[in-house]
Amino acid sequence: MNKKKLIPFINAENESPAGVVRLAERYSCEGADGLYLYNFTGDETSREEFLATVRTIEKEIDVPFLVGIYVERFEDAKKALYTGADRVVIRKALLPAEKEMKEIVSRFGKEHLVIEIDMKADFQTAEALDGFYEMGFGAAMLKHIDTTKSFSEVISNTKIEVLIRDGLIRNDLAELFGFENVPAVFTNYFEDKDIYKAKRALKKQGFDMDVFESLIDFSEFKLLENGLIPVIVQDYRTDEVLMMAYMNEVSFRKTIETGKMTYFSRSRQSLWVKGETSGHFQYVKRLMLDCDNDTILAKVRQVGAACHTGNRSCFFKELAKKDYVAANPLTVLMEDFHLIEERKEHPKEGSYTNYLFDKGIDKILKKCGEEASEIIIAAKNPEKEELKYEIADFLYHMMVLMAECGLSWNDITKELVNRRK
């Protein structure tokens, strides 16, 4: 059985972009199974501003999201999906012309298209919903619903996937999840509430919800004499080691319950939630136990600095060093890219990188094209050495292009991950 998903929605109309981004980040960190971001304003300027906000959000969150937008042309749907959204939501009252709709369906398919329907204004039968399925929509997001027998019959007999959007003023969350063929409920009810708490309550009622659960009981951990277990903390994206602290059973269970790293302070002899005073929370992404059951490895999303000194990591004091060749591809590419960004921000006289930036996008594109051609030529030769050099040249010029266009390696790797679906 697929897990039920609790997904907050954010109406971005007439809201500040910064506020929308902050709310999306908080939802992503604090238990949301996804996000629904929408702005159905029809004018071009508002649409572009909204899409720019969505692109900013996509860089910061790690949950899937849907985008609701006024779609007049094929290009509008394309721009919405190219933000990184899993699906684009189109309102029934704002359907594009038939020709445009056919082009959208032909290009993106049912799995990326959702129709939003106001059931209070226009109650739909199962046959009517099937009609939207035949039109090319893979799911129908139904809002302003009444959980009547007739509604239950409609969603039980349609072939289209049914999603429910509800403010939870009159309807109960458990009742909505009780509809067997409703995989997700979208709501703005949890803007200032604990999502994990709600999901744990639903879990107790028998719903399959995505919450943290330890696969090994704390009683099986091998503790120090003081009843504590060491915890090594890493950034979940880069594997950078951030800090080391300790947990007792209470802090471990609190961490599992809240999704925020909670430790036991040996000096204060009390629990402490990392970031409770500084705002530099650590949101749990993964917890692992070592082979001897005596050390926890935590992969976290770190907000701000991990160290009380203000450093990103507590491990910043160098003790000894031997020169070596760094061979981790991700590390090397990230370091080189940061150097390119540094050159762009702070030009250096005589720098070839700054020469490219000064010449502009056309020169950079010309060099990328030349290097790509040289890769093709080198690949036809039996010796690998030449190909190695040409690929390195291309990667360098490609990173200059990325910096010029405002892209980062995080953007590229996230897009690659999205393509695994």
The answer on 185 and 76 residing in a single domain is yes
The answer on 358 and 292 residing in a single domain is no
Position 45 in a domain: yes
Alpha-carbon span 244 to 266, nearest angstrom: 13
Q: Provide the domain count of the chain.
A: 3
End-to-end CA distance of the chain: 19
Alpha-carbon span 330 to 309, nearest angstrom: 27
Alpha-carbon span 306 to 263, nearest angstrom: 13
Position 271 in a domain: yes
Asked if 237 and 221 touch (Cβ cutoff 8 Å), the reply is no
For residue 167, give the H/E element and its range: none
**pLDDT of res. 276:** 92
Q: Where are the beta strands (DSSP E) in 35-182?
A: 35-39, 65-69, 87-91, 113-118, 139-143, 161-165
**pLDDT of res. 410:** 85
Name the pTM for this structure: 0.85
Amino acid identity, position 150? S
CATH of the domain at 296: 3.10.20.810
CATH of the domain at 377: 1.10.287.1080
Q: Where are the beta strands (DSSP E) in 12-109?
A: 35-39, 65-69, 87-91
Q: What are phi and psi of 253, to 5 degrees?
A: -65, -35
CATH of the domain at 130: 3.20.20.70
Q: What are phi and psi of 151, to 5 degrees?
A: -65, -45
**pLDDT of res. 2:** 80
Cα separations (Å) of 131 from 48, 136, 139, 179, 382?
Answer: 31, 9, 12, 21, 58
Position 157 in a domain: yes
Instruction: Domain of residue 297: give its range.
Output: 218-302
Q: Classify residue 252 by burial, with Cβ atoms within 10 Å: 0-12, 13-18, 19+.
A: buried
Residues 6+ apart with CB under 8 A from 420: none
260: nearest Cα among 278, 277, 244, 276: 276
Cα separations (Å) of 409 from 161, 237, 285, 343, 367?
Answer: 35, 12, 21, 17, 20
**pLDDT of res. 139:** 98
**pLDDT of res. 105:** 96
Amino acid identity, position 39? N
Position 294 in a domain: yes
The answer on 407 and 369 residing in a single domain is yes
Position 279 in a domain: yes
The answer on 223 and 194 residing in a single domain is no
The answer on 257 and 179 residing in a single domain is no
The answer on 123 and 50 residing in a single domain is yes
Residues 6+ apart with CB under 8 A from 225: none
The answer on 412 and 340 residing in a single domain is yes
**pLDDT of res. 112:** 96
Position 81 in a domain: yes
Position 280 in a domain: yes
The answer on 60 and 168 residing in a single domain is yes
The answer on 183 and 38 residing in a single domain is yes
Amino acid identity, position 416? L
Position 213 in a domain: no
Alpha-carbon span 8 to 54, nearest angstrom: 15
User: What residues are paired with 10 via a beta bridge?
Assistant: 37
The answer on 225 and 119 residing in a single domain is no
**pLDDT of res. 414:** 81
> Consecutive 10-residue runs of the chain (421 residues): their mean pLDDT?
91 95 96 97 93 94 96 96 95 95 95 97 96 97 96 96 96 95 96 95 96 96 97 93 97 96 96 94 97 97 94 93 73 90 95 96 97 95 87 96 93 80 58
The answer on 245 and 383 residing in a single domain is no
The answer on 151 and 108 residing in a single domain is yes
CA geometry: angle 213, 301, 88, nearest 5 deg: 90
**pLDDT of res. 322:** 82
Q: Which of 180, 204, 228 is the last residue of a domain?
A: 204
Distance of CA 335 to the CA centre of its chain: 23
Q: Are strands 184-187 and 5-11 parallel, antiparallel or unpaired?
A: parallel
**pLDDT of res. 326:** 67
296: nearest Cα among 355, 329, 349, 251: 251
Alpha-carbon span 165 to 143, nearest angstrom: 5
